[in-house]
Structure formats: C-alpha cells, structure tokens
C-alpha cells in the first residue's frame, strides 16, 4: 500500500527531516544552563534587549529560591504593638511609609495580625483614642515556612489575594516577613514608588535581585565604591568599565565574565570599541553591607 501512495511516505519523511532541522537550528535546551545560554544568544542577536533578558533570568532564579532567600529579616521588621495607642503608633506609620505592618504582642514571635495603613482612613484624620482599637482593625496574618518555594508563594499571593506573609523557622519562631513586592523585585528589579528617595549618583546602577545588579560601564569607580561599599582604586581608571576591561587584558565579548576581589563582573552589552553594560554579582557579608534604598 505504501508503494501505491508515495506521497504519504514522502510527506512523512519531509516532516521528520523538518523536525530534525528545526531542532538543530533552534538548539532546544535540555538543561537550565543551556536555556540561559539560549537567552544570552537571543540578546546578542538583538532578538531581545538586555532588560528583557534580565527579566527572564529573574523568572528562572525565582523558581530556585526559597522564602528565606528574599525575606525581610526579623531585625528589620517594622512592627506595631497591639497595646500602643494612636499617639504612639501613628508616627511609626508616617515615618516608615509602608502599606502593611505586623501587629505584635509581647515580642515579634507573637504576631496578632496585619495592619493595613489604608484601613486607618475609615476612622478619619482625627483618630479618637478612646474609640479606636488595633484589635478591631487588624487582619489575619498569613504564616509561611522559610523553606517554602518562592514561585509557589507567588501563586498563593495571587490566588488568595494577600500581599504579606510572616515567615517562621523550623521551631515556629518568626524569622522575618515577605511581600509580593519582594518577589516581583527578584524578577524586574527595584520597584520604586512616590516615597522612594532618588540619588543621582546611583542612576547608573540598577538592582536586579538580592545579589545581582545591572551597572553601566561608564559608572564612576567612586560612585561604584559608594554604592557597594567597596574600595576599588580610581587613580588609574575613572570608570568601572575601564577597570574591568583592564582586568580582562582584552576587550571582552558579551557573556564573558571576570571576578575581581570577590565580585563577579559579566559583560552584558559591548560594541567593537568598549564595554557598555555589566552585570555585577556581589555577595553581601557582615563587612560589606549594601544600602540599596
């Protein structure tokens, strides 16, 4: 029957060869490393821009993170005591300018609920201390373990429509908190609002996630040192791009990386004459505390 229907055989053969050729040229990734290389290649061929590439890499990173990796640690939590009166807690709300606050009793291991700053508006600007009670305003707190996967938590944030969770360790003690904004910043970088302070000296440095930054090669070494609390010498070279190029010993291509004093510099954009953009990966230690706010 096959001899009587050659078109069927030829058609099947064509599809088979077409599939093989398509797989050959598209380079279907079989691992995360191959996928990252494919994304890098797409950026080099101008199929996507650098911001898009970094966002895709951020999505991939989120899939491997645990809540403990991105949470606001216990020591940095801004909390309100449930027994505080309006006169004592309102300055905390105004100063911190957050939208949500854990409300505690005794200490931070005893979270009674979450106060939404907007809920205070229902009581007017002249809150009556005799009538107002935090216990009547707070909302239930969502508790999640440190080991929870970030991508799963993001789905829960979206489906259950809450924006903050209290993080606990294996013993049930509060170790921090996490918000939906913390997760989104791992993907798209810092999300600034109207209350964020702008610093022109930091305009060339953009945080991607907790440890990675996008830095323009023309960023002055002095500004880089101020931002990252580093001590790179600025006498021989003025810009971070010049210092990195010297470290390579040649004009690097996109994708090449070098480690200088424990900091990884990866070239994400360059032309035939100079480096244009760098991805900087820096580990935060006790002696190297980075202030990104």
Q: What is the CATH number of the domain that holds 265?
A: 3.30.465.10
Cα gap 103→111, rounded to integer Å: 6
Question: 104 and 179: one domain?
Answer: yes
Nearest alpha-carbon partner for 195 in 126, 138, 117: 117
Question: 170 and 213: one domain?
Answer: no
Could you tell me if 260 and 197 are in contact, meaning their C-beta atoms sit under 8 angstroms apart? no
Question: 87 and 169: one domain?
Answer: yes
Question: 235 and 271: one domain?
Answer: yes
| Residue 27, pLDDT above cutoff 70 | no
Q: Which domain holds residue 220?
A: 200-281
| CATH number of the domain bearing residue 74 | 3.10.580.10
Least confident of 23-27, 87-91, 206-210: 23-27
Give domain status of residue 227, yes or no: yes
Taking every pair of C-alpha atoms in the chain, what is the biggest distance, in angstroms? 95
| Residue 4, pLDDT above cutoff 70 | no
Cα gap 1→5, rounded to integer Å: 6
Give domain status of residue 105, yes or no: yes
Q: What are phi and psi of 119, to 5 degrees?
A: -65, -20
Q: What are phi and psi of 201, to 5 degrees?
A: -70, -15
Q: Please give the pLDDT value at position 175.
A: 93
Question: 86 and 180: one domain?
Answer: yes
Question: 90 and 166: one domain?
Answer: yes
Question: 129 and 171: one domain?
Answer: yes
Cα gap 227→127, rounded to integer Å: 41
Nearest alpha-carbon partner for 240 in 211, 191, 205: 205
Cα gap 178→174, rounded to integer Å: 12
The residue among 188, 221, 248 that closes a domain is 188
How far from each other are the two terminal CA atoms of the chain, in whole angstroms?
A: 74
**Eight-class DSSP state of 136:** G
Give domain status of residue 269, yes or no: yes
The residue among 148, 165, 188 that closes a domain is 188
Question: 260 and 209: one domain?
Answer: yes
Give domain status of residue 19, yes or no: no
Question: 179 and 231: one domain?
Answer: no
The residue among 161, 188, 215 that closes a domain is 188
Nearest alpha-carbon partner for 279 in 201, 182, 209: 209
| Residue 282, pLDDT above cutoff 90 | no
pLDDT, mean of residues 187-210? 63
- Count of domains for the chain: 3
pLDDT digits (tens, 9 = 90+) for 131-180: 678 888 899 999 999 999 999 999 999 999 899 999 999 889 999 999 99
Q: Please give the pLDDT value at position 129.
A: 57
Tokens of 110: 């005893």
pLDDT digits (tens, 9 = 90+) for 102-130: 999 989 999 999 999 888 887 765 555 55
Cα gap 105→111, rounded to integer Å: 7
The per-residue b/e assignment along 205-231, b for 16 or more CB within 10 angstroms, e otherwise, is: bbbbbbebbbbbbebebebbeebbebe
Question: 228 and 263: one domain?
Answer: yes
Tokens of 24: 């050959």
Please state, for a pLDDT cut of 90, what percent of the chain lies above it: 32
Question: 75 and 53: one domain?
Answer: no
């Amino acid at each position: 029957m096959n001899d009587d229907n050659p078109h069927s055989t030829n058609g099947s053969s064509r599809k088979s060869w077409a599939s093989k050729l398509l797989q050959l040229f598209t380079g279907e990734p079989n691992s995360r490393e191959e996928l990252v290389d494919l994304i890098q290649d797409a950026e080099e061929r101008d199929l996507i821009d650098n911001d898009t590439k970094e966002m895709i890499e951020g999505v991939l990173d989120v899939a491997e993170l645990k809540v403990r990796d991105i949470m606001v640690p216990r020591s940095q939590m801004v909390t309100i005591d449930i027994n505080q009166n309006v006169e004592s807690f309102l300055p905390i709300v105004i100063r911190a300018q957050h939208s949500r606050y854990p409300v505690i009793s005794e200490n931070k291991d005893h979270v009674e609920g979450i106060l939404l700053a907007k809920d205070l508006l229902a009581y007017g600007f002249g809150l009556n201390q005799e009538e107002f009670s935090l216990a009547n305003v707070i909302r239930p707190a969502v508790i999640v373990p440190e080991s929870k996967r970030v991508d799963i938590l993001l789905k829960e944030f979206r489906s259950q429509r809450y924006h903050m969770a209290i993080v606990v360790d294996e013993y049930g003690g509060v170790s921090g908190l996490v918000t939906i904004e913390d997760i989104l910043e791992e993907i798209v970088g810092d999300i600034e609002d109207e209350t964020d302070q702008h610093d022109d000296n930091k305009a060339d440095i953009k945080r991607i996630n907790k440890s990675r930054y996008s830095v323009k090669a023309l960023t002055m070494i002095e500004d880089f040192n101020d931002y990252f609390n580093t001590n790179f010498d600025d006498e021989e070279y003025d810009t971070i791009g010049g210092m990195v190029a010297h470290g390579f010993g040649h004009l690097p291509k996109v994708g090449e990386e070098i480690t200088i004093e424990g900091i990884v510099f990866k070239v994400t954009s360059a032309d035939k004459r100079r480096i244009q953009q760098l991805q900087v990966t820096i580990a935060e230690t006790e002696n190297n505390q980075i202030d990104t706010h």
